[in-house]
Each structure stands twice: as C-alpha cells, then as structure tokens.
Amino acid sequence: MKTGKKLGVGLIAAALAMSAIGCANNGGNTASPASNATNKPADSKTEKVKILYSMWGSAAEGSTTQAVADKFNASQDRIEVEVQAIPWENYMTKLNTLATAGQLPDTGMLQEGGVIQWSSEGMLNDVSAMYEGSDSKPLDSLAYKHQGNTVAYAAANEILLLYYNKDMFDKANVPYPPAALDQAWTWDEFVETAKKLTIDKNGKHSGEEGFDSQSIVQYGTSVENLSWQLETWALSNGGGFYSEDGTEVRIGEDASIEAIQKVADLYLKDHVAPLSVGQTDDGIQRTIIAGTVAMATNGQWNIGTSLNTAKEEGLKYGVAVLPYLKDKVTLNTGGANVVFSQTKHPEEAMEWLKWYNSEENNWALISSGIWMPTLDKWYKDETFTRKWVENPNFPPYEEYKSAVVDYAQSDAARPAAWFYTNYTTDFNTLLGSVLGDVWTGKATAKEAITKNLDALKAAHAGSK
C-alpha cells in the first residue's frame, strides 16, 4: 500500500510538472506566426504569392475545387491558390484550432453563424473594396456587416419558399399557391387553403363536421419551425427577433410572439399541419417528399439537395412565394467567404475570391439547384437568368423566375439575422429550447418567451 501511495504522489507530481510544460508550449505557439511571417515575403519576391483557401467538404470535393483553382493559377502569374478541404463536421473546430495557433489559411469559407463573431474578435479583414469598379456586384442582402463594415460576402444565395405538391392540389381542385409576389396569400388565405388539403381517413377536411384530427392521412401544410426560419414570421408580423442594427432583442414584443403562436396553431388549432418540434433539419424530406403534406416552407437549396431526385421518381412539385401576416417577407442567407486577418496577402486573397465567386466557377452547384448566384446580373439580366434556370433541374422557367429569382431581389428579401448580429447560434439554440413545449401546446408562445426573455437577451449579448 505504501509504495502504491508513493507512486500515486509521484504520478501527480509528474502530471503537474508536465501540465506546466504543456502551458509553456502553448505560449511558444503564439510566436510561430511571426516566424512564418518573416519567411513568406522572402518567398514571394522570387515566386508567386501563395494563397491557401479552406473549404468544407470531402477530399473529392477539395480536388474538384483545386481543379477550378488551377484554372485561376494558370490565368495569371502572380497568385498561386492551394485548396484545403476539411470535413464539414470538423470544419469550425479545425479553424478554431488553426486560429489559436496563428496558422489560419489566407481565406476560406465560414459558417453563417460564425462570421460576425469572428469579425468581432478581429479575425476577419474588411472586404468592402472587393467589388469596387466591377460591373456586377453581389445582391445587397448578401453582405455580412459588422459595425458598418462589410466583412464578408455570401458564397451563395438562398431564400425561403413555399413548396407544394401539384398532384394534391389538382386532386382537391384547389388553385396552386401564387408564384408572384403581388398575389401572395395572406396568412388567413393560406390557412383556409391548407384546410381544404387536410384530409382525415374518412375523407373529411379540417373544419368540417365530423373531422377527426387524430386520424389525418394528409396534412395541408408544414411551416418550418427551426429558430432561424421562424424569424420570417416575426418580421412579417411587424416584429422581429432583433432591431434592424442587431443590437436590441425584439422577440418579446407582441407582434413577434403572435407570429410564433400562429405557426404553432397550424398544428394545435387549425389542425392543418403535422407536429414538428424542430428536432431535425429535414423538413422537405419529412413533408413534400414523404408525400404526407401538400405545402411546406423551406430553403431554395432543397431543389438541388432532395427535390430533384424525388422529381425523377414522379413527384410533381411547384414553387411559390411565402404567405404573409402584415408585411411580405422572405429571408435570404448563404455561407460566407472570408479573408482572415492573419493573412499577409489580403489583396491577392480578395482577387482570388472575386474570381472564384463568379458563377461560372460554381456552375455545378448552381445548375443542380443547390446554390443560387450572388451577383445581381443573374437576377436583372434575362439572358443570364435563362442560362441559369432553363435547365431540367428546375421547375418551369416562368414559375421559378417569379417565385425565386424575382422574389430574391424584391423588397421582401431580407438578410437572415446572422448577416448583422452576433451570437445568433446561442440565441437560436436557446429559442429552440424555449419553444419546445409551445409546439405541443403545453405552453403558449407568450408564456414561454416572457419567462425566458432575460435569458434570451443574455444569449444575444454573448454573456450566457
């Protein structure tokens, strides 16, 4: 026993000593970027400037992007871009580690929720000058702004839409939802239509005499209730999650709460929607593709990521603009391409990004319907629009042009909160947890939000 104890003491002592050394090593690491810095300029005098670009994706996706970068490398003789692909699951963790070590790439992709946080910690370069003197700029709603400066542009555009199953509408002899913004449905029209499309096993519709909400076989609609998408309805009702500059929390206002309750009531009161408690991010698969729901809201990317395959298997779907409460609103979003502040070559990094962000270089993602272009010429110039949309991967041209292309450049399109607000990940996680019992009707939106308003404000302030 005695030797055991001594051994134990020895181990702890050794462990303490090692951890002290570990700390010293950490201290040493911070010095390494400086030594890198002294090496780099020396290289660039004789050779091309080397730019390291990081992206999320598999090794195969990395080599596809490298092939694109090689075209860029061959097109001029000053900049050499190397692509580093990091798996999506580890992407932000890996970048965090590299940031700590002072070894970030020069430029790279960044998840939506991280941009303003990284900028507020001084990790990003201002990219306002990137499109100076260009004939086509990204849509205004696609710039990430922190304290008035543009710190990133979205790599792609996405907006929220209303998808619908054409066969279900035809069968019920109900007109399709409108693709044109000026004909957008009010919320009440939307709910009325959803009732006509909700059928129980005896063929009764929601609201009819004898309708049994426990044996519904087809639901009229499903409004996605992931936290960030819910902001659409709060904004549409004249409220919002945050003030326009992102500094104040507005979710406690009646207009915001009422909008969230309306979404919950689709299941609870109107009996036109299946229960969804925001646990998984597969709304379109669960609804339109599963063939159980006639209309569902979600992002444009679903056309490329899942609806195309379903279409080949016989699904007839259409796209429409979202219904509205008071104002017509859709959110747009897109992961960012940033220039890290640790780079010694911001100009060259921006030049590469600008070249790479031109749609021709992301054509596979755009033509398959996963990404929408960011530059405004694709929305404003019909020849470009036709080049983009007249493609069997998309719904009919007129329908998509109206419900997506025109919608995306209209006043209704507003940037998602992470374009201008910090700590949206914290806030959205907490909001999702706060609303858990609202979807099942155990609490009202008013009770849940009022009770947790201080915590929501603290999450928004980053002081959780």
Partner 1 sequence: METVNKLPKRRSRFYSSEARVAYICLIPAFVGLIFLTYLPLLGVLGISLTNWTGLKAPEFIGFDNYVKLFTTDPYIKDSIITTIYFAVLSVIGSMIYSLFIAMMLNRKIPARSFFRAVFYIPYVLPAVAIYVGWSWLYEGNFGFFNYLLSEVGLNKIHFIADSSYVVPSLSLISVWLAGNLIVIFLAGLQNVPNVYHEAAEMDGANGWQRFRHITLPCMTPIIFYNLLMSLIANLQVVTPALALTNGGPGNSTRFLTYLMYDQAFVNYKIGYACATTLIIFAILAAFTVVLFKTSNRWIYNEGGDDK
**Residues contributing to the site for partner 1 (CB under 8 A):** 11, 14-16, 18-19, 22-23, 30, 92-93, 96-97, 99-100, 118, 121, 123, 214-216, 219, 274-280, 290, 292, 425-426, 429-430, 432-437, 439-440, 442, 452, 455, 458-459, 463-464
Choice between 73 and 117, CB closer to partner 1:
117
The residue (of 117 and 330) whose beta carbon lies closer to partner 1 is 117
Distance CA 314, CA 397 (A): 19
Minimum distance between the CB of residue 13 and partner 1, rounded to whole angstroms? 12
> Which residue, 362 or 421, is less far from partner 1 as judged by CB?
421
- Least Å distance, CB 137 to partner 1, is 30
| Shortest spacing between CB 170 and partner 1, in angstroms | 22
Q: Tell which residue, 50, 44, 42, 47, has the closest CA to residue 80.
A: 50
Backbone angles phi, psi at 336, to 5 degrees: -100, 155
* Cα–Cα distance for residue pair 224/163, rounded to 1 Å: 11
Distance CA 224, CA 10 (A): 58
Rounded CA separation 343/301 (Å): 32
Closest to partner 1 by CB, 200 or 231: 200
Closest CA to 124 of 132, 133, 114, 134: 114
Query: Is the Cβ of residue 98 or residue 181 nearer to partner 1 in the bound state?
Result: 98
Q: Which is nearer to partner 1, 96 or 128 (CB)?
A: 96
For the CB of residue 248, give the shortest distance to partner 1 in the complex, in Å. Answer: 19
- For partner 1, the closer of residues 93 and 243 by Cβ is 93
Work out the burial of residue 245: count CB atoms within 10 Å of its CB; fewer than 13 is exposed, 13-18 middle, 19 or more buried: exposed
Q: Nearer Cβ to partner 1, position 174 or 458?
A: 458
- 266: tokens are 């689709």
Q: Collapsing DSSP states into helix, strand and coil, what is residue 210?
A: coil
Q: Which has the closest alpha carbon to 350: 51, 43, 37?
A: 51
Kindly state the smallest distance separating residue 100's Cβ from partner 1, in Å. Answer: 6
Q: Is there a contact between 350 and 339 (Cβ–Cβ < 8 Å)?
A: yes
- Nearest approach, Cβ of 121 to partner 1 (angstroms)? 5
Q: Which is nearer to partner 1, 98 or 255 (CB)?
A: 98
How far, in Å, CA of 124 to CA of 153, rounded? 12
Shortest Cβ 463–partner 1 spacing (Å): 8
Taking the complex as a whole, the smallest distance from the CB of residue 10 to partner 1 amounts, in Å, to 11
Q: Specify the residue, 226 or 320, whose C-beta has the smaller distance to partner 1.
A: 226
Q: In the bound complex, what is the minimum distance in angstroms from residue 289's beta carbon to partner 1?
A: 13
Phi, psi of 55 (to 5 degrees): -140, 160
* Least distance between partner 1 and beta carbon 246 (Å): 18
Using the structure block, give the residue that is written with the tokens 């790279």: 108
Please provide the DSSP assignment of 162-180 as one string.
EEEEHHHHHHHT-PPPPSS
Distance CA 65, CA 50 (A): 16
What residues contact residue 80 under an 8 Å CB cut-off, 6+ apart?
A: 47, 48, 49, 50, 51, 73
Secondary-structure breakdown of the chain: helix, strand, coil percentages, each rounded to the nearest 5: 50, 15, 30
Q: How far apart are the first and last CA of the chain?
A: 47
Residue 56 Cβ vs partner 1, minimum distance, rounded to whole Å: 14
What single-letter DSSP state applies at residue 303?
A: I
Instruction: Return d(Cα 352, Cα 369) in angstroms, integer.
Output: 24
| Between 26 and 186, CB nearer to partner 1 | 26
